[in-house]
């Protein structure tokens, strides 16, 4: 393929919400953290998997527990701030990166976990608001 020599019509599409096929035998709940694995399908976020890539927050629930990979499509939000459970948060946590502990909890531990955003608001020691924009793939 050659470099462009004239303007392109790139077919821009709003990217706040993007559609992904759901992995086989998988249920993803609305409002939870979603990642993709080596196969390219959407799955609930999990801990200890540095190779997973963070996609965003599920806009809706999809139950593909009896389906083949790609049998269902899920909408994923790529921008915004969301409340998540955590442990040991303090006011000093604001501005700190957080990582997926599972699909509904975040941790401050980076080791083998995918980054899901930065703390923008401290609620309690067990609850923070996270901005996901810069961490999504």
pTM: 0.89
> Would you place residue 8 in the very low, low, confident or very high pLDDT band (cuts 50, 70, 90)?
confident
Residue-level pLDDT at 68: 97
- Torsion sign (Cα): 113, 117, 119, 124: negative
DSSP state of 105: B
Residue-level pLDDT at 77: 96
* H, E, C per residue of 51-88: CCEEEEEECCCEEECCCCCCCCEEEEECCCEEEEECCC
Residue-level pLDDT at 111: 83
Residue 1 has pLDDT above 70, yes or no: no
Task: Spell out the residues 6+ positions from residue 26 whose beta carbon is closer than 8 angstroms to its own.
Answer: 41, 42, 43, 44, 64, 65
Q: Which two tokens stand for residue 93?
A: 């946590």
DSSP state of 94: T
Task: Spell out the residues 6+ positions from residue 16 whose beta carbon is closer than 8 angstroms to its own.
Answer: 77, 78, 79, 80
Residue-level pLDDT at 21: 98
Residue-level pLDDT at 13: 65
CA distance 115 to 113: 6
């Amino acid at each position: 393929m050659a470099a462009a020599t004239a303007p392109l019509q790139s077919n821009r599409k709003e990217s706040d919400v993007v559609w992904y096929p759901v992995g086989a035998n998988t249920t993803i709940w609305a409002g939870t953290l979603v990642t993709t694995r080596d196969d390219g399908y959407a799955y609930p976020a999990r801990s200890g998997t540095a190779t997973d890539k963070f996609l965003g927050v599920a806009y809706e629930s999809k139950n593909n527990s009896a389906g083949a990979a790609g049998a269902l499509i899920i909408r994923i939000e790529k921008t915004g701030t969301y409340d998540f459970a955590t442990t040991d948060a303090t006011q000093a946590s604001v501005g700190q990166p957080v990582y997926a502990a599972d699909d509904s909890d975040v941790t401050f531990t980076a080791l083998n976990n995918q980054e899901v955003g930065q703390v923008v608001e401290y609620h309690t020691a067990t609850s923070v608001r996270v901005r996901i924009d810069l961490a999504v793939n």
